Structure 1
Amino acid sequence: MSGIPVLDLSLLNGTPEQQAAFRDELRRATHEVGFFSLVGHGVPAELIERAYAAARAFFALPESHKLAIENVKSPHFRGYTRMGGERTLGRVDIREQIDIGAERPAVPLGPDTPDYWVLQGPNLWPAALPELREVAEEWITRLDEVGTRLLRAWAEALGAPADTFDEAFATPSPYVKIVRYPGVEAEQPAQGVGAHKDLGVLTLLSVEEGKAGLQVEKDGEWIDVTPPPARSW
C-alpha cells in the first residue's frame, strides 16, 4: 500500500451526488484504513501559519519560561512536557510538547464525582507569549467545526441521521497537543513517539509541510504519511 486515502471535505458543499461520494469515501477510509488526509477543510491558511509561528516561538522560549508551566504543576494534566519527559512502550520519546484543553473552570471534586472530571480545568499559558492562547483558542474553535462536520457526515455514511452524535458531543472536550520532534543523530534509531492509539473519537493532525516521520499501521505494515501540499488544504 503506497499511501492513505485523501478526502475532500468541500464536497459536502457540492451537489447531492458529490456529498454522497464524500460519505462513501469517508466510510471506506475509516473502515478499511482508519486514517486519511483531509483537504478542502476550510481552515484559513493564515490561521495555520499563525499557529505554526506561535508553536515555533513557544519552543524557542528559554527553558525557564517553559518549565514555569510544566504539566506537573497542573492537576488537569495541562502545560509543558520537557524533552524526554515521556515514554512509550518503555522507550524515551524524543519530543517536547504543550497540552491545551478547553479553557473551563475546574469541576469541584467530591466523593461521588467521577474521576474523569479532573481532566477539566484551566490551562497553563506562557506569560512571555500571550499570542499562544489567542491562536490556540481560535484553532480549537475552527477544528471543532471541522470535527462536527465529519461526525455528521460519518453518521450519514453509516445510514443514520446526521444528528446521531450531536447529543453526545453537545459539550465536546477538545484537546490540543503542540509537539516538537527535533530528531537526533544516533547509531540506533530513536523514536519521536512510539506506536500508540490516540484517546477520543477523532484526531485531527496537522503536520508541518516538508516534514516526514508520521506513519500509520495497517495489517501489520507501517505506511508513511505524506501530507498533501498546503495549497490543496
Structure 2
Amino acid sequence: MTTDFKSIPIIDVGPIVAKGDDLKMGQDPSVREVIKQLDQACRETGFFYVKGHGVPQSLMNEVKDVTHKFFHLPLSEKLKIKMTPNTGYRGYQKIKENITKGVPDLQEAIDYYREVKRGMYGSLGEILEGCNQWPNEPANFKASMEEYIRLCTDLSRKIMRGIALALGGSADELEGEKGGDPFWVVRLIGYPGNPAAIPQNNDIGWLKTYRENGYQLLQFQEHLYATLATC
C-alpha cells in the first residue's frame, strides 16, 4: 500500500447497497465501478469515505444525541451497565479504566459486541459469552442503537462483498464456510477534551467504520496527514 496521498477518496457505495443481496451483483456496470474504486482505495490509501450508504442522517443524529446524553449522566447511573467478565466484557468503562500500551486512556466508553451464546465459538469464545447491556436512560438509547447497528452491519457486509469481488473472488467469498461467521464490535467513546486521549495504537479487524463527528480525532499514520471531508 502506498502512502503517497494527500486526501482520502470518497466512494459512493449506493450501487452495492442496492445490489448487495444479489450474488450476481458484479455483473452490474455501476457495481463494477464501485468495485474498481474500492480496489484502488484499499491498495493506495487503505482508507475511504463512503456516501450513499443508506444510513439515515436522522438516525445518525439520534445516535450521537443519545450517546452524548448517556455520557453526561452521573457516574453512578453509568456504572449500572459496568463492563465485567460476567458480561463478556460488554458495557461501560469509566475514564482511565481501559489501558492502551500500559497507559490509562483518557476516555470513557461503552462496548457492544455481537451476542455470543454458550459454546457458540467453543473454548476460544468463552471470554465473550454474554449479552449486551443497555442503559435505562436515555429511554430511546437501545432502540436507536440497535437500528443503527443493524444498518451498519448490513452496510459492512455489502462493502465486504465489493472487496471480495475486487480481490477476484465471488461476492460471498468471505462468508460462510470460507470466511467464517462475522463478528461485530461497536465502541461508543466519550472524550473529555484532552489533546491526546490514548497512545498511538493499531486497530484490528477486517473492516472498521468510523462516524465523522466534526472534530480532528483520528490520525492514520505518524507524520502522515490527509485532508478529511465530511459526506
Q: TM-score range by the shorter chain?
A: 0.7 to 0.9
Give yes or no for contact 1:215–1:225 (8 Å, CA) kept in 2.
no
**1:18-65 Cα distance to aligned partner (Å, 9 max, x none):** 322211111121122221111111101111111111101111111101
RMSD: 2.5
Q: How many residues align?
A: 218
What is the SS of the residue equivalent to 2:220? Answer: strand
**1:185-211 Cα distance to aligned partner (Å, 9 max, x none):** xxxxx5222222223211111121x21
Where do 1:102-117 residues align within 5 Å?
102-103=114-115, 106-107=117-118, 113-117=122-126
Give yes or no for contact 1:84–1:94 (8 Å, CA) kept in 2.
yes
What is the SS of the residue equivalent to 2:148? Answer: helix
Distance 1:116 1:69, change over 3 A: same
Where do 1:48-127 residues align within 5 Å?
48-72=60-84, 74-103=86-115, 106-107=117-118, 113-127=122-136
TM-score normalised per structure 1: 0.83
Q: Which of these residues, 166, 181, 199, is aligned with residue 157 of structure 1?
A: 166
Return the alpha-carbon distance in structure 2 between the equivalents of residues 3 and 223 of structure 1.
8
Return the alpha-carbon distance in structure 1 between the equivalents of residues 198 and 155 of structure 2.
26
Question: Is 2:184 aligned against 1:174?
Answer: yes
Where do 1:14-33 residues align within 5 Å?
16-33=28-45
Return the alpha-carbon distance in structure 2 between the equivalents of residues 129 and 100 of structure 1.
17
Return the alpha-carbon distance in structure 2 between the equivalents of residues 63 and 157 of structure 1.
47
Question: Is 2:207 aligned against 1:202?
Answer: yes
Question: Is 2:151 aligned against 1:146?
Answer: no
TM-score normalised per structure 2: 0.84
Return the alpha-carbon distance in structure 1 between the equivalents of residues 151 and 134 of structure 2.
20
Return the alpha-carbon distance in structure 1 between the equivalents of residues 15 and 122 of structure 2.
43
Distance 1:121 1:78, change over 3 A: same
Identity %: 27
Moved more, 49-58 or 32-41: 32-41
**1:59-117 Cα distance to aligned partner (Å, 9 max, x none):** 1111101112221364401111111222323333221110012345x4159xx932223
